């Protein structure tokens, strides 16, 4: 309890002073105490500390930096304790493996990893910690009992986000203890990324894997934050940071599943700069509508549009009930102006995250359960970028992903659909459609001007056609004649676009 009280006091001061003119030594001292507390309480709390280390909406920066150390190695249990788990599931080690190195190559809060050979092939063997399921169940029971009491000492604006994070944490930790789920996650993401260059995901050895043991091919590499080794290997670290962000944000914005734990121990690099991804126990899943809403939020931030930013955040469930829209819009606008005096395409990822962190701490924002893993993934990737200190423009990478994956079309159509819906519901809000259409027309014009020409003309035409169709479908409920004209126009426009492409 003293830890929670100290954290509450530190966070309030940190938010009030925006991290400036504070007693940094006191913060660091309290943060070290928090780290020792999490370590002393065991695996579940170590895992919880790892989660908190990526939550800038909950913790001051010194706490995040200290708890980030929990991402590093956790001492492995002796092999004598892991061996019975392997043999209980697979049979005698001598019958299944040529060799198993008893010295663990890594240890984590829930499991540990060994090098081995099967029929001459190098593999890694991931084994659950002894008695981990019983330990987790007991710790979670205690956690559930103390959370309601602890929440009384948490600032009201934080309670929803903290409770949502804990709910997601409990759900995820149970999934992480079943290696059959991790195996399926790995195969799904590997299938989704099969056409992406320079991305390597190990294959699972199905005959040697089950709930408690996971055996995969061994693919060695350089740790992504080992700057010295990467430089010695001649790796272009600027390109490496761009590649890492493209891979993870493509998973987030294009596919149904994304790797949610990209800490440095889970990403290695080959001598040609390819990324090797490990550990698929923690993944996030966003449905199509949530992904589109998230893309709309990114587009609004890129375009420095506070009103659309608030719309997107509200649609994502990130605003507390009864929020004052005017105050939030003004706050976001002022933050954008203060942080981004230059053109938006020059925004760096650090500044973008600072904007999000400051606005989330000042105003009644919340982070819903389904977005907790997204926030974790983005925050950890930011840490990798900061380690390399290279010239990296996150917005440029994001825009590239949206265009290459044809995602921007879906987002703009969704934006227009919502604008037309608002138009139909209220004459007073009809004026809101005008800026949405203006944004769309500007994007439409830009895509027509940029190569490859035929691809962009078709894309621009498909956006306009789909927008007309969506708008006409909604307007049809108000005026049949106007709606029918729009639908006919949308079909004709798509035909013209295809004809141009075929030339």
Q: Is 261 a catalytic residue?
A: yes
DSSP states of 127-158: EEPTTHHHHHHHHHHHHHHHHHHHHTTS-HHH
* CA dist., res. 19 & res. 262, Å (int): 27
Please list, residue by residue across 181-213, b when 16 or more beta carbons sit within 10 angstroms of its beta carbon and e when fewer do.
bbbebbebbbebbeeeeebebbebbeebbeebb
Query: Structure tokens of 231?
Result: 């430089």
Nearest to 186, CA basis, from 207, 205, 168 = 205
Nearest to 131, CA basis, from 33, 43, 225, 219 = 43
Query: Structure tokens of 108?
Result: 């984590």
Given 10, 57, 139, 261, which residue is catalytic?
261
Please list, residue by residue across 431-450, b when 16 or more beta carbons sit within 10 angstroms of its beta carbon and e when fewer do.
ebbeebbebbeebbeebeee
Residue 125 bridge partners (DSSP): 114, 215
* CA dist., res. 18 & res. 21, Å (int): 9
Q: What is the Cβ-side half-sphere exposure of residue 1, based on CA atoms within 13 angstroms?
A: 6
Give the active site residues: 261
């Amino acid at each position: 309890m003293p830890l929670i009280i100290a954290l509450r006091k530190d966070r309030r001061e940190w938010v009030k002073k925006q991290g400036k003119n504070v007693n940094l030594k006191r913060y660091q001292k309290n943060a070290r105490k928090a780290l020792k507390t999490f370590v002393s309480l065991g695996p579940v709390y170590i895992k919880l500390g790892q989660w908190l280390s990526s939550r800038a909406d909950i913790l001051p920066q010194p706490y995040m930096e200290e708890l980030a150390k929990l991402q590093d190695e956790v001492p492995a249990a002796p092999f004598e304790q892991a061996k019975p788990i392997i043999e209980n599931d697979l049979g005698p080690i001598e019958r299944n493996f040529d060799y198993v190195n008893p010295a663990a190559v890594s240890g984590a809060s829930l499991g540990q990893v060994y090098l081995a050979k099967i029929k001459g092939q190098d593999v890694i063997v991931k084994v659950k910690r002894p008695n981990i399921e019983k330990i987790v169940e007991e710790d979670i029971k205690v956690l559930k009992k103390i959370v309601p009491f602890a929440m009384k000492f948490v600032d009201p604006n934080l309670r929803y986000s903290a409770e949502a994070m804990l709910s997601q944490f409990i759900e995820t930790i149970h999934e992480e203890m079943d290696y059959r789920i991790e195996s399926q996650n790995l195969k799904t993401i590997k299938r989704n990324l099969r056409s992406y260059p320079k991305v390597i995901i190990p294959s699972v050895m199905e005959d040697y894997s089950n709930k408690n043991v996971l055996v995969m091919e061994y693919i060695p590499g350089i740790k992504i934050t080992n700057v010295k080794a990467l430089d010695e290997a001649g790796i272009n670290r600027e390109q490496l940071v761009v590649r890492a962000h493209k891979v993870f944000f493509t998973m987030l914005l294009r596919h149904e599943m994304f790797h949610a734990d990209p800490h440095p121990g889970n990403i290695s690099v080959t001598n040609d700069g390819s990324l090797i991804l490990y550990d698929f126990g923690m993944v996030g899943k966003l449905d199509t509508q949530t992904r589109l809403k998230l893309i709309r939020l990114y587009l609004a931030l890129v375009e420095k549009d506070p009103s659309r930013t608030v719309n997107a955040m509200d649609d994502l469930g990130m605003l507390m009930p009864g929020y004052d829209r005017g105050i939030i819009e003004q706050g976001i606008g002022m933050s954008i102006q203060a942080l981004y005096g230059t053109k938006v395409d020059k925004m760096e990822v650090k500044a973008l995250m600072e904007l999000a962190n400051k606005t989330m701490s000042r105003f009644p924002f919340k982070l819903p359960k389904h977005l907790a893993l997204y926030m974790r993934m983005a925050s950890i990737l930011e840490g990798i970028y900061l380690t390399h200190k290279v010239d990296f423009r996150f917005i440029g990478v994001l825009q590239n992903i949206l265009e290459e994956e044809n995602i921007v079309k879906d987002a703009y159509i969704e934006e227009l659909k919502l604008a037309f819906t608002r138009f139909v519901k209220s004459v007073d809000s009809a004026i809101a459609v005008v800026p949405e259409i203006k944004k769309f027309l500007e994007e439409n014009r830009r895509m027509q001007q940029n190569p490859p020409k035929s691809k962009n003309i078709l894309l621009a035409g498909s956006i306009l056609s789909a927008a007309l169709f969506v708008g006409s479908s909604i307007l049809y409920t108000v005026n049949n004649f106007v709606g029918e004209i729009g639908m006919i126009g949308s079909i004709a426009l798509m035909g013209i676009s295809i004809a141009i492409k075929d030339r």
